[in-house]
Amino acid sequence: MLNFDECNEARLIRDPAYDGVFFVGVFTTQIYCRPVCPARLPLTKNVKFFETAPAAEVAGLRPCLRCRPETAPFSPAWEGSKSTVNRALKLINDGALDEGSVIELADRLGIGSRHLTRLFSKHFGASPLQAAQTYRIQRAKRLLNDTELSMTEIAFTAGFGSLRRFNAVFSKLYGRPPSAIRR
């Protein structure tokens, strides 16, 4: 719950530590701002504090055009295209590319596959397929260390399409076959 006095003090000194933590609703102008907004400070009697931008909008306020509160830190808009990459990484980690393709992943995210690949290159330094392969290898390594499953079971459980592909990728990365790692 927000403490009025603490929020008001942060608003008055425009403390950047509170940017994105709460929003200032100004009922005389019917707008809401970030606590770091450079606009003239309203009187304390005319403000109310909100934990989220949607809460301020439900109260009938519109976003300030100067500080753009809908793009405050910690919001998806603040991260820009990196939020799309983070969503894609979560889907990849959950196995989206184990059965599907990059095109299907991009469709789930609402963008084109070429754009997704460009975003990955920009923010992640690797392609979606390389990320998927890394996640598969990490799962396989954990299964090698923590279970007594056969190599074939590990390969398929980790998301590889075949034992041959699993052995090839593992050997390329670690310089030895998976069975040598297990020993």
Residue 125 DSSP class: S
Please state, in angstroms and rounded to a whole number, the distance separating the CA atoms of residues 69 and 158.
Answer: 42
Q: Which CATH code fits 131-182?
A: 1.10.10.60
Higher confidence at residue 60 or residue 99?
Answer: 60
Q: Which residues pair with 122 in a beta bridge?
A: none
pTM: 0.57
pLDDT at 107 over 90: yes
Question: Which pLDDT belongs to residue 76?
Answer: 59
Q: What is the arithmetic mean of pLDDT over 98-120?
A: 91
Instruction: Mark residue 172 as left, alpha or beta (left: phi above 0; alpha: psi -120 to 50; beta: remaining).
Output: alpha
Measured between alpha carbons, how far is residue 116 from residues 2, 13, 25, 52, 100 in Å?
39, 41, 37, 29, 15
Rg of the chain over all Cα atoms, to the nearest angstrom:
24
Sorted by where each begins, the domain ranges of the chain are 4-76, 78-130, 131-182
Strand-pair category, 47-50 with 62-63: unpaired
CATH label, 4-76, candidates 3.40.10.10, 3.20.20.120, 3.40.50.11740, 1.10.3470.10: 3.40.10.10
Q: What is the arithmetic mean of pLDDT over 138-163?
A: 90
Q: Which residues pair with 50 in a beta bridge?
A: 23
Question: Which pLDDT belongs to residue 63?
Answer: 92
Give alpha helix (H) positions in the chain.
4-13, 53-58, 76-79, 81-93, 96-99, 102-109, 113-123, 128-146, 151-158, 163-174, 178-182
DSSP 3-state assignment of 3?
coil
Q: Which residues pair with 24 in a beta bridge?
A: 33, 49
Q: What is the pLDDT of residues 8-63, one digit of tens each?
A: 999 999 998 888 889 999 999 999 999 999 999 999 999 999 988 888 999 999 99
